[in-house]
């Protein structure tokens, strides 16, 4: 494993400085918000400083960071007809491997077969994961020891999604939620975090999509907002019957981007069939379609951002687009500045300073971009090459960013003003 290092003294002065960890998909709150240090708006032609770079195997799984450790999933090529998935735990200071956990996972005819899709979720002393073929597991953070392991595809008779299981596990109290569409049980399975045993299921007779469910608690109800291939649902935590549902059949079942919930409104943004805004009642038990837009607001894999009434969506045909959440009125488009025109666009979007409208993004070309978003315009501060082409979500932690492609994982310092 080849590792590139900056000077030790410079690293020690900067390590762990200034920002939250990144323990799960889409950050500490799972919504693309992150509280980090101030970031320079001008690099003065100096570029970014790389702390280390290590070799990894292919995978779409995003990076997670907790304390002194970095985690990801990959699919090594081991030969002899064996197919495996692997969890890697690395030292945050050096990138050196601390432990790994490997299990058999036969991809058969899985489309886009580079590797696992879902990001790992870290909670306390445990690592929770979901492989592309439906293997759910819990590991000990310290040594990678198996706590429990389940084959949900086999046990729950889940209809297999064309592109594999992709929704990252979500933790709620002492339960871990898996969006796998169990035919014999339910769309969402709640497993005991310690034993892995099924505690309850909800959303029967509903196939799984690819989007991670969103947990919403308003003081009256706690529900799981779940977007599947045929409908958008509000599923009560701990009960078996759905609270509400809005029909939304999506072509090829590509319900991918995680929904958002702001100002009492659920928003989903689909690739083929556009966006839907759903108004929840005050008690959260009923819902109505507020508006739909099938042509002008079509997302793909990236969860949109929200700030002060405005949504920022990476539209499949028109690039980054700002629009009003309550009406769907389009305010502006960026003219494909963030991403390349002429191909399916992808870029992760994270609020680096939500109050000021500052965003960090990693696009499919592997470019790290620092920008400002407002209801009036897109403004770019800088962009630097962070890795090769990638769909994997980066992790921001302390004053660092961790990015991966199919060959390597890199740790970069975020530049201070």
Q: pLDDT tens digits, residue range 101-118?
A: 999 999 988 989 999 999
Give the phi and the psi of residue 148 in degrees, each rounded to 5. -155, 160
Q: What is the mean pLDDT of residues 4-10?
A: 41
Q: Which of 53, 77, 158, 58 is nearest to 117 (CA)?
A: 58
- Tell me if 2 is assigned to some domain: no
Res 3 pLDDT > 60:
no
Q: Measured between alpha carbons, how far is residue 12 from residues 54, 115, 156, 335, 414 in Å?
A: 19, 34, 48, 41, 15
Would you state the pLDDT for residue 191? Answer: 96
CA–CA separation, 409 vs 52, rounded Å?
8
Res 7 pLDDT > 50:
no
* Cβ–Cβ under 8 Å, residues 72 and 97: no
Would you state the pLDDT for residue 9? Answer: 39
Res 92 pLDDT > 80:
yes
Res 223 pLDDT > 90:
yes
Q: Measured between alpha carbons, how far is residue 206 from residues 129, 185, 202, 245, 280 in Å?
A: 22, 10, 9, 11, 21
What confidence tier does 158 reach under pLDDT thresholds 50, 70, 90? confident
- Tell me if 1 is assigned to some domain: no
Q: Which residue has the higher pLDDT, 332 or 206?
A: 332
Res 133 pLDDT > 60:
yes
CA–CA separation, 211 vs 268, rounded Å?
10
Tell me the residue range of the domain where 106 lies: 8-413
- Tell me if 177 is assigned to some domain: yes
pTM recorded for the entire structure: 0.94
Res 171 pLDDT > 50:
yes
Q: Give the number of C-alpha atoms closer than 13 A to the C-alpha of residue 130, restricted to the C-beta side.
A: 26
Q: Measured between alpha carbons, how far is residue 8 from residues 37, 97, 317, 334, 409 in Å?
A: 21, 18, 45, 41, 19
* Cβ–Cβ under 8 Å, residues 251 and 235: no
Q: What is the mean pLDDT of residues 185-213?
A: 87
* Cβ–Cβ under 8 Å, residues 36 and 22: no
- The radius of gyration computed from the CA coordinates of the chain, to the nearest angstrom, equals 20
- Which of 14-23, 50-59, 107-116 has the highest mean predicted lDDT (pLDDT)? 50-59
Name beta bridge partners: 140.
126
Res 371 pLDDT > 90:
yes
- Tell me if 85 is assigned to some domain: yes
What confidence tier does 205 reach under pLDDT thresholds 50, 70, 90? low
Q: What is the mean pLDDT of residues 169-182?
A: 93
Res 156 pLDDT > 90:
no
Average pLDDT, the chain: 92
- Tell me if 3 is assigned to some domain: no
Res 164 pLDDT > 90:
yes
CATH number at residue 363: 2.130.10.10
CA–CA separation, 259 vs 153, rounded Å?
24
Res 5 pLDDT > 70:
no
Would you state the pLDDT for residue 184? Answer: 58
* Diameter over CA atoms, the chain: 59
Q: What angle do CA 294, 334, 327 make, to 5 degrees?
A: 40
Q: What is the mean pLDDT of residues 160-171?
A: 94
Give the model confidence (pLDDT) of 354-365 as tens digits. Answer: 999 999 999 999
How many folded domains does the chain comprise? 1
Share of the chain above pLDDT 90, in %: 81
Give the model confidence (pLDDT) of 398-408 as tens digits. Answer: 999 999 999 99
CA–CA separation, 269 vs 248, rounded Å?
11
């Amino acid at each position: 494993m080849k590792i590139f290092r900056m000077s030790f003294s410079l690293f020690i002065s900067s390590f762990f400085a200034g920002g939250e960890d990144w323990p799960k998909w889409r950050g500490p709150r799972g919504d693309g918000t992150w509280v980090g240090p101030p970031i320079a708006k001008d690099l003065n032609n100096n570029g970014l400083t790389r702390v280390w770079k290590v070799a990894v195997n292919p995978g779409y799984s995003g990076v997670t960071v907790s304390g002194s450790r970095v985690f990801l999933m990959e699919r090594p090529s081991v030969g002899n007809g064996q197919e495996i998935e692997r969890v890697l735990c690395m030292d945050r200071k050096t990138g050196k491997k601390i432990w790994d956990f490997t299990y058999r996972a036969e991809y058969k005819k899985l489309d886009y077969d580079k590797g696992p899709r879902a990001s790992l979720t870290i909670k306390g002393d445990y690592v929770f994961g979901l492989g592309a073929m439906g293997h759910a597991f819990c590991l000990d953070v310290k040594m990678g020891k198996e706590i429990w392991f389940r084959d949900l595809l086999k046990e729950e008779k889940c209809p297999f999604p064309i592109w594999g299981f992709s929704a990252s596990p979500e933790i709620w109290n002492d339960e871990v939620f898996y969006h796998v569409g169990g035919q014999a049980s339910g769309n969402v399975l709640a497993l005991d975090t310690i034993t892995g045993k099924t505690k309850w299921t909800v959303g029967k007779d509903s196939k799984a999509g690819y989007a991670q469910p969103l947990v919403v608690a308003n003081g009256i109800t706690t529900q799981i907002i779940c977007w599947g291939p045929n409908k958008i649902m509000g599923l009560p935590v701990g009960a078996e019957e759905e609270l509400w549902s809005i029909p939304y059949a999506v072509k090829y079942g590509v319900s991918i981007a995680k929904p958002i919930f702001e100002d009492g409104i659920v928003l989903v943004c689909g690739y083929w069939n556009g966006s839907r805004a759903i108004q929840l009642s005050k008690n959260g038990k009923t819902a109505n379609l507020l508006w739909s837009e099938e042509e002008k607001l079509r997302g793909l894999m990236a969860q949109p951002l929200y700030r002060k009434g405005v949504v920022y969506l990476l539209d499949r045909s028109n690039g980054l687009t700002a629009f009003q959440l309550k009406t769907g009125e389009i305010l502006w488009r960026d003219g494909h500045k963030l991403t390349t025109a002429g191909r399916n666009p992808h870029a992760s979007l994270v609020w680096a300073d939500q109050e000021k409208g500052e965003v960090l993004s990693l696009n499919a070309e592997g470019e790290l971009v620092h920008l400002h978003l407002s209801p009036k315009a897109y403004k770019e501060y800088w962009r630097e090459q962070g890795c090769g082409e990638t769909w994997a979500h980066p992790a921001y932690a302390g004053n660092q960013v961790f990015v991966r492609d199919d060959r390597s994982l890199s740790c970069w310092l975020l530049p201070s003003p």
